[in-house]
Structure 1
Amino acid sequence: MVKVSTPVRWALRLLAVGYVFFLVAWPVGMLVRRTFEGGLENLTDALTDEDVISALMLTAQVAGIAVLINLVFGLTISILLVRYEFPGKRLLSAMIDVPLSVSPVVVGLALVLVYNGRDGWFGQGLEEGGIQVIFATPGLVLATCFVALPLVIREVVPTLAEIGDEQEQAARSLGANAPQTFWRITLPSIKWALVYGVVLSLARSVGEFGAVKVVSNNVSGKTQTATLMVEEKYQNFAQGSAYAIAFLLVMVCIACLIVVAVLRPKDEN
């Protein structure tokens, strides 16, 4: 461990705190101040607006479905990457990080090219079967799943690798089948990594804007999510409502993180 002098340590601490303050704390603090600068009027106006309520409900629906899908497939892919060897494993691991490096707008455009009913690869066939993807809720869910895909996997994979598979092999040697081994050995060992991945996925899903904007035609009451509503309110000079909606979205994410921090045992930190 490299020893540094006290002034250097304090300088590094101030630099880190200053960076977080100006990048995160100050903007969020300004959002809170603008939301409540007229008392509770901005919040009450937003929460009594039927279009805002519809946008919030749609956001909750899309985020909930996307998180559930990413939970199931993220856990499956994590176990596949850590516990098995197969051709293309490195390629699969690299592809998982694509949503972190590609612009969400590009993601939305790619989904339109594939699922658009007019000239998409699969869109026309799906619409003939009565399923509309783009400019409908399924498209919003697909876009949200894509951008939040890596979060569960990147939390669970290191934990699975760290705990190893000795206990799982012992359980199988004692006669436990695969489901019993998963529920009694694997899942309890990774539960907090899984919970934290779900929380991050939820926060990312709730706040998604770029990909959702491309695959949505932004129809109020149908395909307009809360983030799209923030943009509309702000551009239409209803900044008070925009601040209030953005504040509610931030509070949802912060509340999830606080709940996990409170419930998580100290020895798991």
Structure 2
Amino acid sequence: MRWGLRVVVVAYLFLLVAWPVSLVAINTFADGPGVLLGVLADPDIIVALRLTVVVALVAVLVNTVFGVGVSLLLVRYEFPGKRVLSALIDLPLSVSPVVVGLALVLVYGGRSGWFGPALEGAGVQVIFATPGIILATAFVALPLVIREVVPVLEEIGTEQEQAARSLGAGAVQTFRRITLPAIKWGVVYGVVLSLARSLGEFGAVKVVSGNISGSTRTATLVVEEQYLNFNQPGAYAVAFLLAMVSVACIVVVAAIRPRGNR
């Protein structure tokens, strides 16, 4: 029974993950490395890759700070509406990213959005600009840091934090010296998952970006554009770059993580 379950799991992961990703790599280098080098020499694609990296890093930074704070709030404090807040955090996992993008347009759109006209009057454009892409990306990756940190906080308890406070440590000092080292690997893995999700976001970004070449077109939108224009090798090459960055992040974290925490 044990070996049968292992075979089923390995076969499932191979057919669903390993094989499709390997086919992207195979098709990328089917005619040699020239296609990949050509993609890296295209100015519009370079702009799209740079925008994707900037958006992903900003979204991950926002989600890390917000995620750690919300995790502490959910685990260390009791307050009315706690269960509702916990349920709302999982909303990005259950709502279609296209719906997220449309909702952001309704809120921040320049013509009919709730805050769009006021923001544009102040010289700040959100929709069809980089801020809108960051908002959409941060929203879809919102729960990942929180869901990694919350179980760690629940496991370590509050004894060490209470001991530190009893010895005169302030809130900031307690967090920096006691809490943060204890949740370090939860934060790191949440950041990696958030980064991978941010790099690959498509639906919400497509709605709010405007898909303007050389300006608001991200790498995932480049994949679609290249594929629809019958440039499959170019689409494979960009998709390969995105996949390899995500895989590399996960591999590095798995390699440096202490064995006892794996």
Q: State the Cα deviation string for residues 23-67 of structure 1 (Å, max 9, x = none).
A: 001101110100000010110110000011000000000000000
Task: Count residues in correspondence.
Answer: 262
Deviations along 1:8-34, whole A, 9 cap, x unmatched? 222211111110010001101110100
1:74-133 per-residue CA deviation (whole Å, 9 max, x = no partner) reads 000000000011111110000000000000000000000000010000011000000000
2:249 aligned with 1:256: yes
Find the aligned partners of 1:104 and 1:86 in 2 and give their Cα distance.
30
- 2:147 corresponds to 1:177: no
In 1: Cα distance, 2:176 partner to 2:211 partner: 42
Picking from 213, 217, 231, the partner of 2:224 is 231
CA distance in 2, matches of 1:65, 1:14: 40
Does the alignment pair 1:222 with 2:215? yes
State how 1:73-152 maps to structure 2 within 5 Å: 73-152=66-145
Q: Measure, in 2, the Cα distance between the counterparts of 1:199 and 1:16.
A: 24
CA apart distance, 1:173: 0.1
CA distance in 2, matches of 1:250, 1:29: 10
TM-score, normalization by structure 1: 0.97
Give the letter for the 1:228 counterpart.
Answer: L
Query: What SS is found at the alignment partner of 2:141?
Result: helix
Q: 1:191 aligns with which of 184, 189, 193?
A: 184
Q: Greater shift after overlay, 155-164 or 10-19?
A: 10-19
Question: TM-score scaled by structure 2?
Answer: 0.99
Q: CA offset at residue 216 of structure 1?
A: 1.0
Q: Which amino acid aligns with 2:251?
A: I
Moved over 4 A (4+): none
Which whole-Å CA distance do the structure 2 matches of 1:211 and 1:199 have between them?
A: 20
Letter in 2 for 1:231: E
AA partner of residue 111 (structure 1): L
Q: Which runs of 5+ in 2 are unaligned?
A: none
Q: Indicate the residue corresponding to 1:22 in structure 2.
A: 15
Q: Which amino acid aligns with 1:210?
A: G
Match of 2:30 among 22, 33, 37: 37
CA distance in 1, matches of 2:145, 2:69: 10
Structure 2 residue matching 1:59: 3-state secondary structure: helix
Q: Distance in 1 between matches of 2:4 and 2:180?
A: 42
CA–CA separation in structure 1 for the residues paired with 2:52 and 2:227: 18
Q: Which amino acid aligns with 2:132?
A: G
Counterpart of 1:76, as a letter, is G
Q: Deviations over 1:207-245 (max 9, x none)?
A: 000000000110011100000000000100111111000
Unaligned 5+ segments in structure 1 are: 1-7
Query: Which residue does the alignment assign to 2:50?
Result: 57
Identity %: 69
Letter in 2 for 1:133: V
CA distance in 2, matches of 1:90, 1:148: 20
Superposed CA RMSD: 0.5
| Aligned 1:65-76 pairs, distance under 5 A | 65-76=58-69
